[in-house]
Structure 1
Amino acid sequence: MNSTLSALTFKKHSLSKLLTATFATAATLGAMTTTLTVDAATLVENVKGYTLNESGKLITFKNLVIDEGKVVALDIDKDNTPVDSTIDGKGKVMLPGLIDAHGHLLGLGANLLEVDLRESSSAQDAAKTVAEYAFANGQQAWITGRGWNQELWSDRAFPTAADLDKVISDRPVALARVDSHATWVNSKAMEIAGITKDTPSPAGGEIIKDADGNPTGVFIDNASQLIEAHLPKASNAIYEQQLHAAGEHLLANGVTSMHDAGIDRDVYDFYLKEAVEGDLPVRIYAMVSATDPELSTMLGNGTIRDKDDFLYIRSVKAYGDGALGSRGAALLEPYSDAPHQHGLLLTQPEDMTQLFTTVIGAGFQLNYHAIGDKANHVALNEFETTFKSIGGSELRNRIEHAQVIAPDDLARFSSLKVLPSMQPTHATSDKNMAEDRLGKDRMKGAYAWKTLLDSGIALPLGSDFPVELANPFYGLHAAVTRQDRNNQPVKGWYAHEALTIEQAFKGFTLDAAYAGHMEDTLGTLTPGKWADFILVDQDIFTIDAKDIWKTEVHATYVAGEEVFSK
């Protein structure tokens, strides 16, 4: 598909305005003209407003004016400024629409539409939930779902195919772990995939086998692809269901923009179609998957930015290692609780140079998934080598997660201008197992938000939904308290790495916009930017920090139009 599309008329998601849609390559973007039919200026008044200014300083306001979907002014003299309509904020707190800098949009939609195992208390409990779902969905050829986490079960052991076979053996079952770095299946699924004791583990993956060499039913990282290759292929109809389920959920939680961490060619084309038709419910900064066979074609199309900022494609998501919970995160030294394991590198070292030079050489931002200290170390090394060879540090390249970092590598993020894109709720979810995996010494560079921020680098924040829950107030709470929502541990988990509420708020607004090259139009409620805002029930800047997660969104506006109300 050519990245510059001819002008098309469409209806803008839920808004009642006709716009002229144009996509453009970055080279032609500045020369675009915009045709826009708008309502007259609107005053939003009677609010307790907070935003950052362009310098990142927190400011307050009592009203703002919107015209053509963008903020015109803050704190106007209402008696001397004519407007054509007024929205009464009813004394609510107004915040910019929050930006999740790392999520999986259609994955969230699928999670909302499939069996959810997040609350399961054991493998048997999870299997019971699967059986109930299968009974209610007899038409589904495959039973799929996600959310199991053996670290929350009393035995902390991986589940087995036998656990599922007891309740469903006639249809294949494939269940992603909460972090998507492992897949649990029943015997029927392994039969369909042709998995036997003789099937070798692929590079960057592991088929868990028992003492006799038989596959147990759990597939780690790249091994999951042996199962996924046999799942029913998604269609646009399925994508649409997932998109709108996820969109409704995000808007209800105050998220108006998100960075989609890894899309393949089919989703790339689907997003283009939805943008042209005006059906994207939230703003999407999309990262093309580095493993897609058509990566070169998508890079060749150039960067794509919808003039109304509902779709921006100028980055690539690459995959360095697995996750800590499944012991797939690549570590420099062995796991403390499994001395024979170092984790897995999903992109092999010999392939990194070509990947980095190809992506960065094409002018695309490279966003590299790295959780373990080894994966972070080799990524930073490769960024440094690439910058010396071909440049590209200005692209705001990122390491996604940046979860466990060797202390000597912490300052390199700032010196190399590589952004650590981090997810606060990962820390509060991992606190029960991280020390077991790493030992206390390696915790010095783990979940080190404040250390990284203090080094002088922007800190975009997100949730990694549906790995974690998508509610951004959970992330703000975790960032400030270093506690879970039960206020544990009492003094916070490695509390010296906690952020202030202003720093965390910046991570979910201006820093997230910056990480997506969109700070020119998003991230603050300042003149010239899109009027994406939310009205919430409490003041996150003045309440007790332990209550931040309880914040409820009463209304969400995108480009000045209400898209959710409670």
Structure 2
Amino acid sequence: MRRITCLVISLGLSASAIADTLYTNMKGYTLTSPAGENAVLQQFSTMLVENGKVQAIGGETLAQRFADTDSTVDMNGKTVLPGLTDAHGHIQSLGNSLLQVDLRDTESVSDAVQKVRSYAKEQQEIEWITGRGWNQEQWKNKVFPSAANLDEVVSDRPVWLMRVDAHAGWANSEALRRAGIDKNTVSPEGGEIIRDEQGNPTGVLVDNAMQLVEDIIPEPSLQQQRAAYELAFQHLVKLGITSVHDAGINSDEISIYKGLHNQGRMPLRVYGMIAATEPKLAQLLAEGPYETRDQKLAIRSVKIYADGALGSRGAALIEPYSDDHDNHGLMVTSEKKIQELYKLIIPHGFQINTHAIGDRANRVVLDNMAEVYDELGGRNLRNRIEHAQIVHPDDLKRFTELNLIASMQPTHATSDKNMAEDRLGSERMAGAYAWQTLLDEGTVIAAGSDFPVELANPFYGLHAAVTRQDRDNMPSGGWYAEEKMSLEQALRSFTIDAAYSAWQEQSLGSLEPGKWADFIVLEQDPFAVDASQIWQTQVEQTYVAGERVY
């Protein structure tokens, strides 16, 4: 049952206190501290904001007490929620994807090829044709595309198109030629060059093999990179996202963030995870955690890739794929290297966030985390497993035993439902996308989207979490419906629990006194509509630190 209380919470203000803005006549909801299963959902109709922070929330009594405030805003009965956090996204990739050919909704390889043709015709001056979003599982034949498909429409310029999950790429022959990939090229460790029956590369590269092409694509200029970030920022605040955990940034991107922040060009908050592949990782760790005074930018974690993705059969599995009996997936980072990274990072007090999708990868992370805790400590660093999609049922309880946060993306389940059981078989589904099981064990779930792998709209995520259905509300009753979240749990995972997963719950994630006034105004009340309609929720206004940014 949902617990909602309605009361006045304040910082002990007197009637003579000077306030910036009093917001009245709203349907406000917030989870209140502490984070996790003991958080309580509270409802309020009035909120007092001063100097960018919440001073009090309450009802009519609070409104009357500060009725003479210079700035009073009547919210006209609109619904107000804390600003939503996406606990796993890729901001520069999102900005880039908004500038590239978009293949997300293609229904066949020919459909994708025609989009590439149109884009290439419009962008005659671009040396490399790049794009993202194809997913062969949405195509009728469900097979990987080939370079020959692309050569039909673009043969004089290189083409490189990332799969929707960013764990496979599709190249035309010119891109393969420039990368020096031919029949004799050996697949790198943790990657695979897909080949035809004669051993020739087909044009699809999986996981670490993608670097063979990506390393030769010209770097965008600093100006182009900044433009991509700002385009992504604008996109995100329109969706009600006020904070993002950027999952894997390098030193150059850290510098860009610092520059944008110094110029006042960051309308939202970013919690950056340093990419474990960053050559300057040891130096950045030695410099210690970084956080700006206004908490717009914080860097105190490291992102490690353990394996690949399920859709491209790169997720590392204990037993072979049910639809590819000779394939166990890929460990993108070796177990030895993972152990070395853990031992490097923990002494510096940085949080470790490890991408693990398959049950083997999750077990490797759990085993190595337990081992390094015994040797070095680090249990209280709020370490996370990013995705935690397929976990052996015996390992689910180990998340709480090892004090690990599950950073999960609800729309992954509804996007994967048409292929996950093919990949895994029915028995392994017992530990797949197991949100409620993890919550019942006491595990904190930090929710996100993994944009641009999935669409960034957090209400799509809330809908998927509550219904286990896609936006056509299929399948009826929900996919493995026993793992649904309640709306309260789902909202918690996008707000205070996401803040907790970044060590920020004391200042973000809820509309409690003393915290930043990050909030959104909605055109409908998610708690008052049928769950099937949650994804349709529109954001009318977004505020960060009391300032309207959308």
**TM-score of the aligned structures, taking structure 1 as reference length:** 0.92
Q: Helix, strand or coil for the counterpart of 1:353?
A: helix
Of residues 313, 316, 323, the one that matches 1:327 is: 313
- Tell me which residue corresponds to 2:42: 59
The whole-number CA distance in structure 2 between the counterparts of 1:492 and 1:330 is 27
- Tell me which residue corresponds to 1:198: 184
The whole-number CA distance in structure 2 between the counterparts of 1:80 and 1:349 is 61
Of residues 413, 431, 436, the one that matches 2:399 is: 413
Of residues 329, 333, 344, the one that matches 1:343 is: 329
Counterparts of residues 311-326 of structure 1 (less than 5 Å): 311-326=297-312
- Tell me which residue corresponds to 1:537: 523
The whole-number CA distance in structure 1 between the counterparts of 2:363 and 2:44 is 44
- Tell me which residue corresponds to 2:28: 49
Amino acid at match of 1:124: S
Of residues 141, 147, 164, the one that matches 1:161 is: 147
Q: Helix, strand or coil for the counterpart of 1:113?
A: coil
- Tell me which residue corresponds to 2:76: 90
The whole-number CA distance in structure 1 between the counterparts of 2:509 and 2:336 is 38
Of residues 80, 98, 119, the one that matches 2:65 is: 80
Counterparts of residues 452-531 of structure 1 (less than 5 Å): 452-531=438-517
- Displacement, 1:281? 2.2
Q: Helix, strand or coil for the counterpart of 1:77?
A: helix
- Displacement, 1:236? 1.9
Of 348-357 and 324-333, deviating more is 348-357
- Displacement, 1:79? 3.1
Amino acid at match of 1:466: P
- Displacement, 1:40? 5.2
Cα contact 2:267–2:544 (8 A) shared by 1: no
Of residues 261, 265, 271, the one that matches 2:251 is: 265
- CA deviations 1:26-73 (Å, max 9, x no partner) are xxxxxxxxxxxxx95111112110011114100011110111100001
Amino acid at match of 1:69: G
The whole-number CA distance in structure 2 between the counterparts of 1:475 and 1:397 is 23
Of residues 249, 273, 277, the one that matches 1:287 is: 273
- CA deviations 1:492-547 (Å, max 9, x no partner) are 10000000000000000010000011001100000000101001011111211000
- Tell me which residue corresponds to 2:109: 123
- CA deviations 1:68-103 (Å, max 9, x no partner) are 100001125333324221222121100000000000
Amino acid at match of 1:78: A
Of residues 226, 240, 256, the one that matches 1:240 is: 226
5+ long unaligned stretches in structure 1: 1-38
Amino acid at match of 2:263: E
The whole-number CA distance in structure 1 between the counterparts of 2:360 and 2:70 is 58
The whole-number CA distance in structure 2 between the counterparts of 1:350 and 1:91 is 57
- Tell me which residue corresponds to 1:208: 194
Cα contact 2:251–2:280 (8 A) shared by 1: yes
Of residues 544, 552, 556, the one that matches 2:542 is: 556
- Displacement, 1:261? 0.3
- Tell me which residue corresponds to 1:101: 87
RMSD of aligned alpha carbons: 1.0
Amino acid at match of 2:22: L
- Tell me which residue corresponds to 1:12: none
Cα contact 2:23–2:48 (8 A) shared by 1: yes
Q: Helix, strand or coil for the counterpart of 2:98?
A: helix
The whole-number CA distance in structure 2 between the counterparts of 1:227 and 1:294 is 23
Number of equivalenced pairs:
526
- Displacement, 1:350? 1.8
- Tell me which residue corresponds to 1:447: 433
- Displacement, 1:133? 0.6
**TM-score of the aligned structures, taking structure 2 as reference length:** 0.95
Of 552-561 and 231-240, deviating more is 231-240
The whole-number CA distance in structure 2 between the counterparts of 1:88 and 1:563 is 18
The whole-number CA distance in structure 2 between the counterparts of 1:129 and 1:57 is 48
The whole-number CA distance in structure 1 between the counterparts of 2:371 and 2:507 is 33
The whole-number CA distance in structure 1 between the counterparts of 2:267 and 2:409 is 23
The whole-number CA distance in structure 2 between the counterparts of 1:538 and 1:455 is 33
Amino acid at match of 1:49: G
- Tell me which residue corresponds to 1:422: 408
Q: Helix, strand or coil for the counterpart of 1:274?
A: helix
- Displacement, 1:238? 1.4
The whole-number CA distance in structure 1 between the counterparts of 2:369 and 2:254 is 26
5+ long unaligned stretches in structure 2: 1-17
Cα contact 2:19–2:48 (8 A) shared by 1: no
- Displacement, 1:402? 0.1
- Displacement, 1:211? 0.6
The whole-number CA distance in structure 2 between the counterparts of 1:153 and 1:480 is 27
The whole-number CA distance in structure 2 between the counterparts of 1:387 and 1:558 is 37
